[in-house]
Structure 1
């Protein structure tokens, strides 16, 4: 009824007022602001140019990677031979479910006796390491060899009662020759081996195995420049004797009683020209019969045996 003051009119419920009841906190305003200049294409994460730049960076990093990385020896016979030779391994990997034989048993037992970690891994992990898959369920991890400095090699040799007897290698690329020469140096009382940093065999697991553990007792130094190192040794009073099939001095004509370094060249290339010029004499081994030359490691052993004979006399 009109004019009835007791009648309630339309009442809006609480919280239903039109428009926002709470402010946006500036979200809408900031959403309308500019984000600055567009970055270059190679800096946008999902742009093809950025992917190409990342790939090039990875390749560049790979080119500057260290060359003396940890080495993995694969196969049952090589692993057992390395363990017998006393190669300073850090881990022995055994594939899960690998067939057991005397070589596997010996490898595990020897590693356990030497305190080498023994790890059982899935076979596909070894398959990824071995490109040809010929791991036979066994792998050995060998750390990089710790080379001596050429100056430290000569200083340590001078501390011995016997005159320094050293061997340098030129154009020797086979690690088996390196290992055999290290073994001969240790057998005939030598004090160390010097190798160039580039274009030369390094102390790998193969060299370790060939040296029959002598690499653990005979230091191997690596020179950035072999010719410069030879000159420094000569200035220190060491006689530099080159070993080459075309040498003009017989092996029994050299005097091995004083400080001496024997520089061994390869069978094919022999001594390089600069190394030959830095030698005080070029020695050859007289050969009987049609044989033209000896293996580099065998020739080095013959010369070292002659020097040891002279020193005994």
Structure 2
């Protein structure tokens, strides 16, 4: 059974929503007119005045829909009841898309970074910032096995999360297989590889996979790799922080 066009349209809309939480992150989003805040969620237990009053005033000035919830319902929306402070907001980000949408709209050779179990929110934020600043056309972020897009990620990305081209998928292996089906080359980094990242200039579309901070690229993803590349090291250094590696990829492969 195939999904209807109406269902696909609704799914695409909600896939492009990013839910942020916490009083200060939501307030900062409302203060930035460039950020498209779709809906504001508030807990009924919030006391009036202070930052809550500022949030409500800004939402009303921008004609943003406000929904009130009991504490349990808000926790389900924020997915972090311990830290949401009774406030969450849905952000509409047109640059966020599915694998199908990205493939459909990109024919020319492109360069992507894919994240394989990146668990540290600060690393995730810095990767997004480096990729956005460099020559990378998008970042593949799986919903399973990767750090969530939390306020800490937003802070570490220095706000670039709201304008970065993010490609969402359920699992990385399935997404990479889909890209490979369209002729995209998959590259992983290894200290044992004979070819240097800085000498690699692929003609075809290429995805560079960044592995977990401790374990590196998983065996499942390694099996999908078409090419292994190394970053030359000096002074006996064996590896770099994953966010630093992302920055090198973003500016080395032009």
Q: Which has the higher contact order (CA 8 A, sep 6+)?
A: 2
The structure-2 alpha-carbon separation of the partners of 1:118 and 1:291, relative to structure 1 and needing over 3 Å to count, comes to: farther
Task: Tell me by how many angstroms 1:196 deviates.
Answer: 3.2
- Which has the larger strand fraction? 2
SS in 1 for 2:168: strand
Which residue number in structure 2 is paired with residue 91 of structure 1?
A: 40
Which residue number in structure 2 is paired with residue 221 of structure 1?
A: 168
The structure-2 alpha-carbon separation of the partners of 1:105 and 1:180, relative to structure 1 and needing over 3 Å to count, comes to: farther
Cα shift readout 1:229-262 (whole Å, capped 9, x = no counterpart):
3244234222211134554432212114432111
1:171–1:269 CA contact under 8 A, matched in 2: no
Which residue number in structure 2 is paired with residue 298 of structure 1?
A: 244
Which residue number in structure 2 is paired with residue 243 of structure 1?
A: 189
Task: Tell me by how many angstroms 1:150 deviates.
Answer: 2.0
Look at both structures and tell me which one has the larger radius of gyration over its CA atoms. Answer: 1
TM-score, scaled relative to structure 1 = 0.56
The structure-2 alpha-carbon separation of the partners of 1:279 and 1:143, relative to structure 1 and needing over 3 Å to count, comes to: same
Task: Give the alignment partner of residue 234 of structure 1, picking from 163, 176, 180.
Answer: 180
TM-score, scaled relative to structure 2 = 0.67
Distance, in Å, in 2 between the alignment partners of 1:205 and 1:300 is 21
Task: Tell me by how many angstroms 1:79 deviates.
Answer: 3.3
Distance, in Å, in 2 between the alignment partners of 1:188 and 1:133 is 32
- Bigger shift: 82-91 or 273-282? 82-91
Task: Give the alignment partner of residue 178 of structure 1, picking from 113, 124, 133.
Answer: 124
2:39–2:90 CA contact under 8 A, matched in 1: yes
The structure-2 alpha-carbon separation of the partners of 1:256 and 1:133, relative to structure 1 and needing over 3 Å to count, comes to: closer
Task: Tell me by how many angstroms 1:272 deviates.
Answer: 0.9
SS in 2 for 1:90: strand
Which residue number in structure 1 is paired with residue 103 of structure 2?
A: 154
SS in 2 for 1:305: helix
Which residue number in structure 2 is paired with residue 78 of structure 1?
A: 25
Q: Does the alignment pair 1:262 with 2:208?
A: yes
1:88–1:142 CA contact under 8 A, matched in 2: yes
Q: Which runs of 5+ in 1 are unaligned?
A: 1-68, 309-313
The structure-2 alpha-carbon separation of the partners of 1:284 and 1:109, relative to structure 1 and needing over 3 Å to count, comes to: farther
Q: How does 1:22-41 map to 2 (within 5 A)?
A: none
Aligned length: 227
